[in-house]
C-alpha cells in the first residue's frame, strides 16, 4: 500500500512541476496562437534569478524562511521584465504571420536568451539548496520525502485554481476568453486586444519563471536546463490539448504518474513514457484530450 502511495506521490510531485510549466505555455498558445519555445529560457531565467536573489538574501544572513519570498520575487521580476520585453519588443511586430514563423521567432529568442544567460551567469552551475532542505522531511511508509515537495504541489494547485478563477469568474478573464474565441470580433467590440496579449504573455512568462524559481532549490541551475523543460511541457500541452488549462493539468498528471510507474517497475522504458502517453492520446484524440472546439469561419 505504501509503495503504491509512494509511486502516486512521486508522480504527483513531477506532475505539479510539469503543470507549472505547461500552464503558461498553453495559456499563451490559447490566446495568442504562439508556441513559445522561449518559455524554456524564461524557466531558466527564473531559476538563475532565484538562485542569485535568494542566494544573496541567505548570504546576507537574513532569515532563511525569507528565501521562499525571494523565489516568488524572482519569478515576478523575470515575468514583469521579460514578458513585456519579448511581447512588445519582438512578438508584437510579427502578429498576423504564420504560426510556424512565430514559432521560429520564439526559437530565435530562446537561442539568444540561452547565450545571454551564459554571458550574465557564466557556465558554472548555481546552487540554492537551503529552501529544499529547510522544512525537513515527512514519511510515506519507510520513505522520507522533503516537505518542499508539498509546497510544490500546493503552488501548482493554487496556480491552477487561480488561473481558472481568473479566466472564468472575472470580467478580464471573460474578455480574454472572447479574444481566444475570435480575435477580430473582440477587437471590433472594443476589447483592447493588444493589452490582452501583453497581459497574457506576461502572466505566461511569470508562470515559466515561477517553475524555474521553485525548481532552483532542487537542482543544479546550469546552462541548458531550459531545453529539457520545453520538450516536456510541449508534450504535456499536446496531450491535454493546445490552449486548454484543464487539459494541461490532466496531461501533466497522466505523464507524471505513468513516468513514476515506469521508474519503479520498468526503468528502461522511462525515457519513452512521455512519448508513449502522447502517442496513445493522439491516436484516440488527434487534437489532444481537451482541445477547445474551433468555430468554422465562412
Partner 1 sequence: MKAVLRALVLAACALAVLPAAAQQPIRLGIVTFLSGPAAGAFGVPARNGFELVTELLNAGTVPAPYATKGFGGRPLELVIIDEAGGPQKQVAELRNLAQRVDYVIGYISSGDCLAVAPVAEELKKLTVLFDCGTPRIFEDASYKYVFRTGPTGSMDNTAAALYVLERHANVRSIAGINQNYAWGQDSWTDFEAAMKALKPGLEVKTSQMTKLFAGQFGAEISTLLSSGAEVVHSSFWGGDLEGLVLQGAPRGLFQKHLVVLSAGEPAINRLGTRIPDGTIIGARGPFGPFAPDNAFNRWFRSAYQDRYALPPIYASYKATNALLGLKAAYEKAQAAGATSPSQEQIIAAFEYLNYEGVGGPVRMSLGKGHQAVMENAIGTTRVVGGELRIVDVKRYPPEQVNPPEGAKSEAWIKSGFKK
Residue 129 interacts with partner 1 (CB under 8 A): yes or no: yes
- Least separation in angstroms between CB 204 and partner 1: 22
Binders of partner 1 in range 83-122 (CB under 8 A): 118, 122
- Least separation in angstroms between CB 199 and partner 1: 31
Choose between 29 and 234: whose C-beta lies nearer to partner 1: 234
- Least separation in angstroms between CB 264 and partner 1: 5
Alpha-helix residue ranges (DSSP H) falling in the chain:
2-32, 39-59, 66-89, 99-121, 130-133, 148-169, 171-181, 183-188, 193-215, 225-240, 245-265, 270-284
Binders of partner 1 in range 41-70 (CB under 8 A): none
Residue 174 interacts with partner 1 (CB under 8 A): yes or no: no
- Least separation in angstroms between CB 185 and partner 1: 43
Q: Which of 65, 89, 124, 185 binds partner 1 (CB under 8 A)?
A: 124
Residue 285 interacts with partner 1 (CB under 8 A): yes or no: no
Choose between 124 and 194: whose C-beta lies nearer to partner 1: 124
Long-range CB contact pairs, 146-155, < 8 A, 24+ = 148/217, 148/218, 149/9, 149/13, 151/68, 151/214, 152/13, 152/16, 152/17, 152/214, 153/12, 153/13, 153/16, 155/16, 155/20, 155/210, 155/214
Q: Which three cell numbers stand for residue 80?
A: 514583469
Residue 223 interacts with partner 1 (CB under 8 A): yes or no: yes
Residue 17 interacts with partner 1 (CB under 8 A): yes or no: yes
Report the distance separating Cα 41 and Cα 208, nearest Å. Answer: 9
Residue 192 interacts with partner 1 (CB under 8 A): yes or no: no
Scan for cell 546552487, then name that residue: 127
Other C-beta atoms closer than 10 Å to the C-beta of 172 total 12
Residue 270 interacts with partner 1 (CB under 8 A): yes or no: yes
- Give the CA angle between residues 137, 143, 146 to the nearest 5°: 25
Report the distance separating Cα 257 and Cα 237, nearest Å. Answer: 16
Site of interaction with partner 1 (CB under 8 A):
3, 6-7, 10-11, 13-14, 17, 118, 122-125, 127, 129, 132-133, 137, 141-146, 149, 215, 218-225, 227-228, 259-260, 263-264, 267-268, 270-271
Amino acid at each position: 500500500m505504501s509503495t503504491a502511495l509512494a509511486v502516486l506521490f512521486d508522480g504527483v510531485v513531477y506532475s505539479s512541476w510539469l503543470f507549472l510549466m505547461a500552464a503558461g505555455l498553453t495559456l499563451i498558445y490559447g490566446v495568442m496562437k504562439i508556441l513559445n519555445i522561449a518559455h524554456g529560457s524564461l524557466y531558466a531565467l527564473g531559476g538563475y534569478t532565484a538562485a542569485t536573489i535568494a542566494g544573496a538574501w541567505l548570504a546576507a544572513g537574513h532569515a532563511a524562511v525569507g528565501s521562499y519570498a525571494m523565489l516568488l520575487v524572482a519569478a515576478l521580476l523575470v515575468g514583469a521584465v521579460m514578458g513585456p520585453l519579448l511581447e512588445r519588443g519582438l512578438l508584437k511586430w510579427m502578429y498576423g504571420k504564420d504560426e510556424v514563423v512565430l514559432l521560429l521567432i520564439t526559437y530565435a529568442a530562446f537561442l539568444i536568451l540561452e547565450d545571454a544567460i551564459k554571458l550574465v551567469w557564466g557556465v558554472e552551475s548555481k546552487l540554492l539548496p537551503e529552501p529544499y532542505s529547510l522544512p525537513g522531511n515527512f514519511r510515506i511508509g519507510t520513505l522520507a520525502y522533503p516537505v518542499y515537495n508539498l509546497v510544490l504541489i500546493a503552488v501548482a494547485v493554487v496556480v491552477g485554481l487561480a488561473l481558472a478563477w481568473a479566466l472564468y469568474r472575472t470580467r478580464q478573464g471573460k474578455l480574454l476568453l472572447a479574444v481566444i474565441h475570435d480575435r477580430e470580433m473582440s477587437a471590433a467590440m472594443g476589447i483592447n486586444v493588444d493589452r490582452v496579449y501583453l497581459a497574457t504573455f506576461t502572466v505566461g512568462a511569470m508562470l515559466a519563471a515561477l517553475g524555474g524559481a521553485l525548481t532552483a532549490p532542487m537542482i543544479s541551475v546550469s546552462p541548458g536546463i531550459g531545453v529539457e523543460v520545453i520538450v516536456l511541457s510541449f508534450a504535456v500541452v499536446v496531450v491535454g490539448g493546445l490552449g486548454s488549462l484543464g487539459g494541461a493539468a490532466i496531461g501533466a498528471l497522466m505523464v507524471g504518474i505513468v513516468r513514476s510507474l515506469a521508474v519503479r517497475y520498468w526503468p528502461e522504458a522511462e525515457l519513452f513514457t512521455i512519448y508513449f502517453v502522447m502517442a496513445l492520446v493522439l491516436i484516440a484524440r488527434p487534437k489532444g484530450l481537451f482541445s477547445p472546439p474551433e468555430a468554422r469561419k465562412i
